[in-house]
Every structure is written in structure tokens, then in C-alpha cells.
Structure 1
Amino acid sequence: MTEAVQLTEHGGGVVQITMQDRSEKNTFSHALVGGLIEVYARIAARPDYKAVVLTGYDTYFASGGTQQGLLAIHEGKMTFADVNMYSLALDCPIPVVAAMQGHGIGGGFVMGLYSDIVLLSRESIYTTNFMKYGFTPGMGATAVVPYRLGESLAHEMLMTAANFRGAELERRGVACQVLPRAEVLPRALEIAAGLAQKPRAALVLLKRHMTRALRERLPQCISEEIAMHEHTFHQQAVADRIATAFGR
């Protein structure tokens, strides 16, 4: 493991992934991305694991792309799909519970929504802020956000790039548990423990069945998002916004 990502065994087949790249506030740094890819590979290779809890540290869950990474996409040096870390939870063979105890920003929020069960914090901010910088959403956001939160709310979040507190999303009727921050991780571990009481083979088969529609939709969605980026991401105004508004 790396300092940015820790894997903890809780016994009974439950494991916890903790994202804690404190110096980068859990943006998609090389350390965080590499650590996540490594731990999910280890989990997939362990037949005794039955459920995963994915969480962050303090008031941060995950904060999306780094400023350098966004500028690299703007300059045409890479695309968000060059390294597929965004759907690691979806591709994990066993159920993943996202304990989003802290802020979920942009791609960080989208990454959490690929989990099978999502818990939010009333105090935290959640946003799909791609359009804040003038480029259209990526990471499969146009597929997974409506899949998880519903079409109407997804359209509002993706188009406006507005910030939403967990408490507001709760009032809007999101189909996720929304709890005080201190209760999010304990509740997620409780759910994972309940999942781990079931046979692993049944969990794997049921997850594969229930996520099939999203997995089948995702490749075309990624292709369409990259095509939209060709028209939106390479504008000078986008670079200016990334340079001046990033992190604000």
C-alpha cells in the first residue's frame, strides 16, 4: 500500500479502502490513483473478501482531477480515459459501499457513485463541477449520475455545476442514506458486515446482474464524453478557468 491509500481488514470478509492523500486533499494525484488501482487488484485476487468500504479522511472523500491533470487534458496530452480508475468500484467483483463522509468534488463524487451502495454526509458538499471550468462532464458522469441520483437531479447537477450539501440532497429525495458525518463510516461498515454474511458467490453473481445495464452503457458513454471534450476542453477559456478558479 501507499501512504495515500490504505487497505484495512475488519474480519469476516470486510475490507476498508481509505483514501488519505492529505497533501493533495484527495485529488487524483499519481499516488492516489496508483494506490486505488493496486488495492482493487489485491481485493479482486482474494477469494475470502466479500465486501468493500470505500472512504476518505476528515472532511474529504475525493476531490477529482488535479490542476495539472486538467491542464494536460486541455493541452491534448491525455484524456480522462487513459487510466480507468473512475469505475474501479463498478468493476470490483464484490459489493462496494461508498462511505462518502467528506466532500465529493467533480470526478471524486462521480467515482463514489460507481459504488453499489452510497452513503452521504449531511454536512459535506457534493458537486459535479465540470461545467464550472467550461468543459463537459467526463468519467462516465453522464451515465452514472442519473443512474444513481435520477434524471432530473442529475441534469441540474451536471448542467449548473452547483454545490449541494448532503442535507439538501436528502431533502431532494436522493435514494442514498444521508447521515451526520460521524455516522457515515460506522453505518457503512455495518452494511458491509451484513453483506459479508452472505455467500461470496451469490454476492458476485447478484452484483454482476444488477450492474449489467450500467456496464453495457458505459463504453458508449465514455466515447461520447471524449467526443464532447474535443469541442469543449481545448478552448483557451477553459485553461484560463482552470488556472484561476481551481480549488475555489
Structure 2
Amino acid sequence: MGKVMPEVLLEHPAPHVALVRIHRPEARNALNGEVRRGMNTLFAQLAADPEVRSIVLAGSDTVFAAGADLKERAAMDVVGAMNFEPTRGIANCPKPVIAAVNGYALGGGCEYAMQCDIILANDKAKFGQPEIKLGLVPGAGGTQRLPRAIGKYNAMWMLLTGNFVSAQDALRMGLVCEVIEGNCEPRAIELAKQIAELPPLA
């Protein structure tokens, strides 16, 4: 297991497959500046690596990412807020990225998943954009990607209420393509291997 930063881990579970893991277990994988910078750096490296053909993005077996690090945001001054670095590395990556969502994917965590090309979820997964309950706006593309993924009315229901949806409801809405009982990471790796074995320039 390699480390880009302590909060972002890189693994190679199969030939031509990279696994990027959000690793802040003490904070339920809340997304702070170190995670954002690590993700941008790592995805740029993976995009340029000819040996990598597909990528899995994962958290732990109980939480994908619980959203932004609110303690960090509360401590930001005006300059810090203006220099806030979003994560665009996932969306800009030209290689297929599969989100393996175990447990909660909330706020920025849900937005990270939606930047991926395929989302798999375990049966305990919950998705949500609860920013409205904090007087915030989803700042990493949620207001744009969610309607495209699940339609205007489902998206507005989630965005305007801050309510969570279960894995099965996310499947019904079209946000995820498979729901797996237990840990969905092995299935995501299996799918990434299948993709990596196909012609990369297709």
C-alpha cells in the first residue's frame, strides 16, 4: 500500500488497476484540504501513467466520505475561502473511474462519487446532499451532476430537503448501477479488471 499523503492511499489490486482510498478514519473520511490536494495530485499522476487503465475510488468498509471537513471550513478566513481548492482531478481523468461506495457518501462525498464514471454501492450505503441544513450550497458540482444523474425532480427533492437516499432508492433513481450485499470493493475491482483488459484506446 502506497501513500501519496497520509489521507490518500494508492493501491494496485490488479494489473493495470489503481485503487485510490480516502483515509481519514478518525474523521469519517471528511474531506479536508489535504485530501483535496492529494486527490488532485494523484489523479493527475494516474491520468499520465500508461500502466494504469482503470481506477477504483473507495473509502473504508463503513463510510465512503462523510462530506466536507466542517471544522476546517469554520476556521477558514476570507483568503482561505477564496483559495479553496476543489477536487477536479476525478472528473478530469480520461480513464474510467469506479466509485465503490460502502456506507455514507454525503455532501462532498456524494459529489466525489458522481464525478466517477460508474458508482457501485453496498446495501448499507446512503447518499445525500445535506448542505442545505447547514445553510450551504453543494460546492463540488452536486447541483449540476445530480439532476443529470437522477432527473430534475428527484434531484430537487434531495437538494431542497437534505434527505438521504438508501442504496436501493439510489439504484431505482439511476444514481448507482449495482447494489452489492456486504463490501462492494471486491466487485468494483473485478469490474475495473474487466475494463482494464479491454483495448485502452477504444
- Please, what TM-score do these two structures have when normalized by structure 2? 0.88
Q: Which residue of 2 aligns with 1:83?
A: 85
1:78: Cα distance to partner?
A: 4.1
Q: Which residue of 2 aligns with 1:154?
A: 155
Q: Which residue of 2 aligns with 1:190?
A: 190
TM alignment of 1:67-216, pairs within 5 A = 67-71=70-74, 76-79=78-81, 82-85=84-87, 87-172=88-173, 174-182=175-183, 184-202=184-202
Distance 1:171 1:135, change over 3 A: same
1:124: Cα distance to partner?
A: 2.1
Write the letter of the residue equivalent to 1:149: I
Q: Which residue of 2 aligns with 1:12?
A: 15
- Please, what TM-score do these two structures have when normalized by structure 1? 0.73
Larger helix proportion of the pair: 1
Tell whether the 8 Å contact from 2:33 to 2:85 is kept in structure 1 after alignment. Answer: no
Tell whether the 8 Å contact from 2:107 to 2:129 is kept in structure 1 after alignment. Answer: yes
Distance 1:43 1:185, change over 3 A: same
Distance 1:196 1:155 in 2: 36
- Structure 2 residue runs of 5 or longer lacking an equivalent are none
Tell whether the 8 Å contact from 2:54 to 2:193 is kept in structure 1 after alignment. Answer: yes
Distance 2:127 2:163 in 1: 9
Q: Which residue of 2 aligns with 1:245?
A: none
Distance 1:141 1:9, change over 3 A: same
Distance 1:125 1:175 in 2: 11
Distance 1:162 1:80 in 2: 29
Corresponding pairs, count:
199
- Structure 1 residue runs of 5 or longer lacking an equivalent are 203-248
Aligned-pair RMSD on alpha carbons? Answer: 2.1
Distance 2:146 2:175 in 1: 11
Larger Rg: 1
1:22: Cα distance to partner?
A: 1.2
- Post-superposition CA distance 1:18-44 (Å, at most 9, x none): 111112221112332232123212212
Larger strand proportion of the pair: 2
Tell whether the 8 Å contact from 2:62 to 2:102 is kept in structure 1 after alignment. Answer: yes
Distance 1:80 1:172 in 2: 35
Distance 1:82 1:174 in 2: 27
Tell whether the 8 Å contact from 2:170 to 2:176 is kept in structure 1 after alignment. Answer: no
Write the letter of the residue equivalent to 2:84: D
Tell whether the 8 Å contact from 1:28 to 1:64 is kept in structure 2 after alignment. Answer: yes
